[in-house]
Amino acid sequence: MLKTWLRTAFVALGWIKRPVFVGEIMPRHPSSQELAEGALVLVKDAKHDKWACFRCPGGCGQKVQLSLSAQRSPRWKVKLDYLDRPIVSPSVRMTNSCGCHFWIHNGVVSWCPDSGHQDMKSIR
């Protein structure tokens, strides 16, 4: 609750950009109905980060599932900052018809030039 209030206040004051994604942690994969727009769900157990799940920000709304397991390839790393804004590395490239290619840093989406969203530097 405090993090949500701080995030909202910092956006209103212009200190941070409004995040497209806010992180939350679950012990299991969310269903498509549970995966809210703007949520990036970290699936983890007591010891291991397993998956990052969110809806594609490019408009297709497809559920994206990124493996965080060191035993899988490809894999990504996701961190949540103090305000629960996710940082995802490396970039995410959608290979479906959407064709989005983007970075997520501090919850904000930055589009790669080859994404089809060249005219948009980032979504607010």
pLDDT tens, residue order, the chain (124 aa): 899 999 999 999 999 999 999 999 999 999 888 999 999 999 998 888 999 999 999 888 889 999 999 888 999 999 999 999 999 999 999 887 788 899 999 999 999 888 766 544 444 3
Q: What distance in Å separates the CA atoms of residue 24 and residue 62, rounded to the nearest whole number?
A: 19
Instruction: Please indicate, yes or no, if residue 82 is contained in any of the structural domains.
Output: yes
- Considering only CA atoms, give the Rg of the chain: 14
Instruction: Please indicate, yes or no, if residue 10 is contained in any of the structural domains.
Output: no
Instruction: Please indicate, yes or no, if residue 3 is contained in any of the structural domains.
Output: no
Instruction: Please indicate, yes or no, if residue 1 is contained in any of the structural domains.
Output: no
Instruction: Please indicate, yes or no, if residue 11 is contained in any of the structural domains.
Output: no
Instruction: Please indicate, yes or no, if residue 62 is contained in any of the structural domains.
Output: yes
Identify which of 22, 69, 25 has the alpha carbon closest to the alpha carbon of residue 48. Answer: 69
40: left (phi over 0), alpha (psi -120 to 50) or beta: beta
Reported pTM: 0.86
Instruction: Please indicate, yes or no, if residue 2 is contained in any of the structural domains.
Output: no
Strands across the sheet containing 49-55: 22-26, 39-44, 49-55, 63-67
Identify which of 115, 65, 70, 66 has the alpha carbon closest to the alpha carbon of residue 90. Answer: 66
Structural domain range at position 85: 19-115
Q: How many domains does the chain have?
A: 1
Instruction: Please indicate, yes or no, if residue 8 is contained in any of the structural domains.
Output: no
Q: How many CB atoms lie within 10 A of CB 42?
A: 21
